[in-house]
Structure 1
Amino acid sequence: MTTVSIHQPGYLPWIGYFHKMMHSDVFVVLDDVQYERGGWQNRNRIKTDRGSSWLTVPVSAPYGAAINEVEVDNSQKWASTHRKSVDIHYSKCEFFRYWSKFIPCYENENKMLLDIDMETIKIFMNIFNINIKMLFSSELGITKKKSDLVLDICRSTGADTYISGAMGSDYLKLDDFEKYGISVKFQHVRHPKYRQRFGEFIPNLSALDLLLNEGPGAGRIIRDTKVEWK
């Protein structure tokens, strides 16, 4: 029995990203599809005293570029801005010390967006004790798109179960998956509440918000998150 999930790389992803990993045997990083402007590959949100706020990595991405071709625009000094923002708004959190694990990511001046995304993702995985097989779609040599791409990735990784995000129901051709004996589960996350500063709880932030507020309990909270599998 092999459960596979697939997702584009993201910058400081939300908890649903890691929930997928925790319930998978194989996680495929979809790095060779088209970069999505205004998506989650180069940005995420944290909580401030004025509500949620974006942390955005500036990039240079010609139209049609694949995610693994997108370069970071380090001329904008974004790294120091992100560090300062997290320092200001999370320094009084009980588990702020975990932020130190991410600091080297902001000192490297990575040229490629994929590198900064994967560095932060792997730090989260280590803290949350996620130990699964990880592959990059670019390693698999599959050139199809949308539902056919997902199906071929599942077949090439020996999947009998595929975990999709909730939006997958809009484009996945389920009859094709059934033909190859692959069960599809759609992940509808019921976002948990946890400790936050600055008033009313805001869901769907970067997992960094959960980590700095809950520390070693963050992984358990993600693993135990209630999900409707449809």
Structure 2
Amino acid sequence: MNSLIYPTYFPNLAHFWAIVNADTVYFEVSDNYQKQSFRNRTEIYAANGKLALTVPVSYSQKNRQLYKDVKIANEEQWQVLHLKSLQSAYSMSPFFEFYIDDLMPLFEKQFEYILDFNLKCFDVLQNALQFKINPTHNSTFELEPKGKTDLRNLAKRNFKVPSFQPYTQVFTEKHGFISNLSILDLLFNEGPNSEMYLKQQLYIK
């Protein structure tokens, strides 16, 4: 399968399922930016349930912008908030201490553009998961791509995907299993088993 997907902020499990099960990964980087998507949002499992972490961006719906041209609104100090949220949610998870040092540079260095930041997140996650994929960045936008499985809808927050098989999460006893969270939820809870878990899931046709 050749998968065409958007690079997103700490992609959810559906995104990473598409990545690890693809023969070739194509990143959509030539489209117009759209609000209300996972391009600048990820969801984690906090003490009170699902928690959304959103990277603030400088964007106006009136003037269309390419995804690659949308800037992060760094004056909002969002990195401090997101790091604290991750520490609060996952400090008791089995593999938090093992991976957090790899992630720290993402919260210590400011990035100007959301696309560049998302691509860096993906690079860091590749190293953490110990697999190497070299995505191809498309140079033109295709409404109906040829020779690729179009999974760009996975970036839509309201796009429904089937539930994944449960794994143990920090707050399972309080709120039950929450499916399709950020890859960080799987990584902190399952560690080196994360890639195998994703390859065992059978859900996208």
Instruction: State yes or no: 1:31 paired with 2:29.
Output: yes
Residue deviations 1:96-130 (CA, integer Å, cap 9, x gap): 12122111011110011012111111222223333
**C-alpha separation between the residues in 2 aligned to 1:42 and 1:54?**
10
Aligned to 1:128: 129
Aligned to 2:151: 165
Correspondences of 1:84-163 after superposition (within 5 Å): 84-97=84-97, 98-137=99-138, 140=139, 142-143=140-141, 145-147=142-144, 150-151=145-146, 154=147, 162-163=148-149
Structure 1 or 2: larger strand share? 1
What displacement does 1:189 show? 5.0
8 Å contact kept, 1:10–1:42:
yes
Unaligned runs of 5+ in 1: 155-161, 169-187
Instruction: State yes or no: 1:208 paired with 2:184.
Output: yes
8 Å contact kept, 2:163–2:179:
no
Of 8, 12, 20, which aligns to 1:22?
A: 20
8 Å contact kept, 2:57–2:71:
yes
Change (3 A) 1:166 1:135: closer
Aligned to 1:70: 70
Aligned to 1:49: 47
Instruction: State yes or no: 1:193 paired with 2:169.
Output: no
TM-score normalised to structure 2 length: 0.87
TM-score normalised to structure 1 length: 0.78
- Match of 2:181, SS? coil
8 Å contact kept, 2:4–2:28:
yes
**C-alpha separation between the residues in 2 aligned to 1:133 and 1:57?**
25
Point out the more displaced range, 19-28 or 83-92.
19-28
Residue deviations 1:117-159 (CA, integer Å, cap 9, x gap): 111112222233332331112xx3x35x421xx12xx3xxxxx
What displacement does 1:73 show? 0.5
**C-alpha separation between the residues in 2 aligned to 1:122 and 1:25?**
18
Residue 123 of structure 1 aligns with an amino acid whose one-letter code is V
Q: CA RMSD in A?
A: 1.9
Aligned to 2:196: 220
Residue 164 of structure 2 aligns with an amino acid whose one-letter code is H
What displacement does 1:166 show? 9.2
Change (3 A) 1:7 1:165: closer
Unaligned runs of 5+ in 2: 155-160
Kindly name which structure, 1 or 2, has the bigger radius of gyration based on alpha carbons: 1
Larger relative contact order, structure 1 or 2 (CA cutoff 8 Å, min sep 6) = 2
Residue 200 of structure 2 aligns with an amino acid whose one-letter code is D
